[in-house]
Structure 1
């Protein structure tokens, strides 16, 4: 069905508006990226906008040579990978039964999930509970609290409700049970929702700040976000760097490098999931 002239005009206006918003959203990132590749003098003179001045890799070399930063990167990477896999597994194991009429307590479980979206646990009882179950100063605290969210559960359940029942019925005739249905038939055909929710979980775990700030005391278990905050707010080290005029980098360029270092991995993953992302988000929101 061809579009009318007015519809084409509206579509082009929407596309132009979205392009403008995208450019506006990219400007802060480009500015920080430019500062990270700029030399000391133009940065201190505020001459850097969205293009590097006095291009240099000295700031990157200084930051990437820090073993403590790479250790935190490893902690965050492992927590993100393990947490995302476990989260998708547990979400699927709970969402799939919720689509079956024979799961008699399904409505109660969904009600409980919705309640957790509306009412958040008080901070002090939450802290004491996590401490009592052994998650204080334990790297597992970077994974377990994020392993299931009600919002993602609802999206996956809704996606499963859209799954063709004929495929499951044919598998049941062949003698397949629920676990075989889920792992051999449903999940392999659910790449869209798995990619979408995987990205949601991965971004949440990668960017987490409050949990490690509250529960992690051992510097060896600091995730990347805490280490970057520590580095950015460490006035002593950055002041020493700032006072060494012979260096080709400054405190500002080092801060910019650490910020870019933290966000680039997620930005690199998104293009590989983009083809599934929109489909999964839309299919997971069609039917309640």
Structure 2
């Protein structure tokens, strides 16, 4: 069916508006990237816009040698990888039994978990519990409180519920138990939603900030989010790196170092996202009303 002139005009306006919104999100990122790869003179004179001027990687060299960003990056990787693994394991073992119709009191357990999405214990009681368990200055203070996202668990539970029962019946006829059914039958056909949830958890753990400020006092354990925030707001962190520059090398400016720090922080998620984005629509729309 051919679109009418009015519909074509409407579609064209939609494309223009969406393109402008996309550019408004993309331009700041391009400007930061251009600043991080531009020379000192170009940055100081304000010549940098969306493309590097006097291309240079001195800011990244200073960032690696004059700050603790390498260690912070390593800490972020450890927090993210271990956190995603733990969260996905617990989410799987929570979603699978709650998706079984024969599981006793599954409605009660589901409502109890949904209750935590609305109400929480509060900041001070949570801190006292973490302190009482001796988890301060430990990454377990980051992993345990957010080990399971109820929203992610509900997505996975709904996905398991929509798997045709004939597949499970055939597996049980072949002698599959619950563990083998989950590991060898359900997980392989659930990879789209699992990949999406891994990215959800990964972004949350990679960008964890407030919990790090509260529970981690050891500066050697801080992650990239905290370090970059300190670089942006505190001049002392940058001054240590800037003073460490050898006199025979080109000096860099604070704006370039800050931009480079932000790029290092967001680059891993930007690299991973395109490979998993295709699973989003299929996974997030699970349970929607179908006509």
- With structure 1 as the length reference, what TM-score do the two structures score? 0.91
Q: Which residues of 2 match residues 5-44 of structure 1 at below 5 A? A: 5=4, 10-44=10-44
Partner of residue 272, structure 2: 269
Relative distance call for 1:167 and 1:239 in structure 2 (3 A) is same
Relative distance call for 1:25 and 1:262 in structure 2 (3 A) is same
Partner of residue 169, structure 1: 169
CA distance in structure 2 between the partners assigned to 1:187 and 1:286 by the alignment: 25
CA distance in structure 2 between the partners assigned to 1:12 and 1:153 by the alignment: 39
Q: What does the per-residue CA deviation read over 1:30-89, in whole Å, with 9 as the maximum and x for residues that have no partner?
A: 111111111223322333221222221111111123572111111110111111122112
Q: What does the per-residue CA deviation read over 1:80-115, in whole Å, with 9 as the maximum and x for residues that have no partner?
A: 111112211211111111111211221111111211
Report the Cα offset of residue 4 of structure 1.
Answer: 3.7
Report the Cα offset of residue 10 of structure 1.
Answer: 4.5
Report the Cα offset of residue 134 of structure 1.
Answer: 2.0
**What is the SS of the residue equivalent to 1:47?**
coil
Q: Which residues of 2 match residues 233-272 of structure 1 at below 5 A? A: 233-239=233-239, 241=242, 247-272=250-275
RMSD: 2.3
**What is the SS of the residue equivalent to 2:137?**
coil
Report the Cα offset of residue 280 of structure 1.
Answer: 1.2
Q: Which residues of 2 match residues 85-104 of structure 1 at below 5 A? A: 85-104=85-104
Aligned residues, how many?
A: 286
CA distance in structure 2 between the partners assigned to 1:84 and 1:271 by the alignment: 19
Q: Which residues of 2 match residues 216-235 of structure 1 at below 5 A? A: 216-235=216-235
Q: Work out whether residues 193 and 284 of structure 1, in 8 Å CA contact, stay in contact via their aligned partners in 2.
A: no
Q: Work out whether residues 38 and 48 of structure 1, in 8 Å CA contact, stay in contact via their aligned partners in 2.
A: yes
Report the Cα offset of residue 182 of structure 1.
Answer: 0.9
CA distance in structure 1 between the partners assigned to 2:39 and 2:278 by the alignment: 38
- With structure 2 as the length reference, what TM-score do the two structures score? 0.90
Report the Cα offset of residue 20 of structure 1.
Answer: 2.4
Relative distance call for 1:206 and 1:3 in structure 2 (3 A) is farther
Q: What does the per-residue CA deviation read over 1:119-170, in whole Å, with 9 as the maximum and x for residues that have no partner?
A: 1321100100111112111122232222201111111111111111110011
Q: Which runs of 5+ in 1 are unaligned?
A: none
Q: Work out whether residues 146 and 205 of structure 1, in 8 Å CA contact, stay in contact via their aligned partners in 2.
A: no
**What is the SS of the residue equivalent to 2:145?**
helix
**What is the SS of the residue equivalent to 1:253?**
helix
Report the Cα offset of residue 260 of structure 1.
Answer: 0.4
Q: Which residues of 2 match residues 195-210 of structure 1 at below 5 A? A: 195-210=195-210
Q: Work out whether residues 156 and 284 of structure 1, in 8 Å CA contact, stay in contact via their aligned partners in 2.
A: no
